[in-house]
Amino acid sequence: MLECFSHHYGRCRPYREFCGKRARSAGEIPPIFVPVLKRYPLLSVDRSDVVLTLTSSGTSGEKTVLFLNGESLDNLTTIAERVYGGMGLVNKEERDNYLCFTYDPEHAKDIGTAWSDKNNMSFTRVNRAFYALKWRGKGFYFDREGAVECLRSYSEEGLPVRILGFPAYMAETLREFEERYGSIDLGERSFVLPGGGWKNKRGQMSKADFRRMIRETTGIPEENVRDCYGLAEHGVPYVECEFGNMHVPIYAEARAIDPRTMEERSEGLLHLMTPYNLTSPYMSVLTTDYGTVKSGCGCGRERPYIEIFGRAGVKKYAGCAISALQYL
């Protein structure tokens, strides 16, 4: 963390002015409030060194722009594969079918969630892939009929299936599928990897009810439904284990703090730290997510895990998953 801080402190003038003095420990690195990064993108490298630019936009219209140079991109992809691998979700010998409830990456190359789901498809070999949010010239639309028929087709092939993306779209498709075809059995090697966004037009969805729906309709075990917490400003994925807890990877640290005093407490705003990004000084960020950090998960993993209670503040900042629900 101190090496990363020194890199950004010496190369990004606005960040240096924000910090004031040099940090002598990781704990002295001041966090940047996430909404600030939606207004003031920061760079510690020449723009010509940036090889990938991703955006994360919410319903407010404000965007976070994530810049990545080659080294930072390599770090991020390595981290993702190792984190998912540690949860038993990487098998390069297996060939899977993919049903993606996210934007078609051919027309959404700069949207962070589309890039993440595309990257997650590298964890196995890909037999076939279907994207439910399709492009029609001026915008995206939800291809509900195509998703239902794709699921039916996959159920007849016998290969493991991975279902990725926004859970609200998954739920709508599963309801339609069950009414039309009943239940199927996709097997114990199939997984569902949602990425947040547990609200739909019917309101907040319960994860327990969602997992039950997945099991009853597709035969995928409930422990194979693995949600993930992440944000563009931080980059590191916090993936659920078999017990449904989002563990803090070794590449990051998390704590709950009182934003008025910046002191750690049992519940508070999540303060996240990671040193992977050498492009922008996002190594220490204060989120708008209210939650807690716990230890002692029944899965036996030693790393702590986070629990999110909701968004804090008078103004509720909505991310990509909520913004995407306009197509339902």
CB 169 within 8 A of CB 201: no
pLDDT band at 171 (very low <50, low <70, confident <90, very high): very high
Is 179 a residue whose pLDDT tops 70? yes
Distances (CA, A) of 61 to 4, 100, 118, 314: 30, 24, 24, 17
- HEC per residue, 278-312: CCCCCCEEEEEEEEEEECCCCCCCCCCEEEEEEEC
pLDDT digits (tens, 9 = 90+) for 249-292: 999 999 999 999 999 999 999 999 999 999 999 999 999 999 99
pLDDT digits (tens, 9 = 90+) for 69-125: 999 999 999 999 999 999 999 999 999 999 999 888 777 766 777 788 889 999 999
Question: What pTM, to 2 d.p., does this model score?
Answer: 0.90
d(CA 236, CA 83): 9
Percent of the chain whose predicted confidence (pLDDT) is above 70: 90
For each of the domains in the chain, give its residue range(s) and CATH number, in order of start.
2-46+245-316 (2.30.38.10), 90-225 (3.40.50)
